Amino acid sequence: MRIILLGPPGAGKGTQAKRIEEEFGIPQLATGDILRLAIREGTEWGKKAEPFVREGQLVPDEVVIGVVKERLSRDDVRRGFILDGFPRTLRQAEALEEILKGLHIAIDAVLYFDIPAEELVRRLSARRVCENCQTPYNLISSPPRSDEVCDRCGGKLVQRPDDTPEVIRKRLAVYEEQTRPLVEFYARKGLLVTVPASGSIEETYARVKEMLAKKLHGNG
């Protein structure tokens, strides 16, 4: 199963990707996580990406495409993968098609997480993430069992520096301008599956599974 999770920041892509990864045993490829790790480690890619991530802008296409190309060449994606946060521009979508063509594989479905903008600001402001394993939490809707500590690995929960109100507004504007056109792009290819994403994690995951089953078994 090879799927793309598409939708604005705060729609729940990362949370749902982790659930799909656990249940179906296919890895989540989150470009945001990969870039944050590269920034922490101070690699060449990290140095290029840092100012863009800090400002809530998109990292230049060639950097992100390079990251994804390298990641898709590894063995653990042979059985499938979940692309989370990539592609985010038409150029990235076109580059992805080229990469996949070279590997003789194709995307099975693009899950589009549909959610109103007001809900996104509320969610992003309450978001925390484990600085060690990147598991996402929300202080209102999915708090950790114990304050500020990750349930999975005991790592410290932190607020992402780009989850401040000013940068959140910027990221939502960037999404509208640069990423939203991909909804139409994948709809035209017959790959788009719309998932209403304003409900709870469980409600959204139930819809994800139902829609994946339909799409992958040819009834949708």
Compute the residue count for the chain: 220
Residue 160 a catalytic site member: yes
Identify the residue whose tokens are 């990641």.
Answer: 71
Nearer to ligand AMP, 84 or 204 (CB): 84
Closer to ligand AMP by Cβ: residue 17 or 212: 17
For the bound state, the minimum distance from the C-beta of residue 82 to ligand AMP, rounded and expressed in Å, comes to 13
Which lies closer to ligand AMP via its Cβ, residue 171 or residue 215?
Answer: 171
Residue of 133, 188, 194 lying closest to 158 (CA atoms) = 133
Binding site for ligand AMP (CB under 6 A): 9, 31-32, 35, 52-53, 56-59, 64, 85-88, 92, 162, 171
CB of 117 to ligand AMP, least distance (A): 15
Sorted by sequence, the CB contacts under 8 Å of residue 143 that are 6+ apart come out as 137
Known active-site residue 2: no
13 included as an active-site residue: yes
Residues in the annotated binding site: 10-15, 31, 36, 57-59, 85-88, 92, 127, 130, 133, 150, 153, 160, 171, 199
**Identified catalytic residue from 127, 128, 207, 215:** 127
Annotated binding site for AMP: 31, 36, 57-59, 85-88, 92, 160, 171
Catalytic residue among 18, 19, 48, 171: 171
Look up 127 and say whether it is catalytic: yes
Query: Which long-range CB contacts under 8 A does 210-218 form with residues at least 24 apart?
Result: 211/109, 211/111, 212/1, 212/3, 212/20, 212/109, 212/111, 215/108, 215/109, 216/1, 216/108, 216/109
Name the active-site residue from 18, 19, 48, 88: 88
Name the residue with the smallest CB distance to ligand AMP.
Answer: 32
Q: Residues comprising the binding site for Zn(2+)?
A: 130, 133, 150, 153
What residues are labeled active site? 13, 88, 127, 160, 171
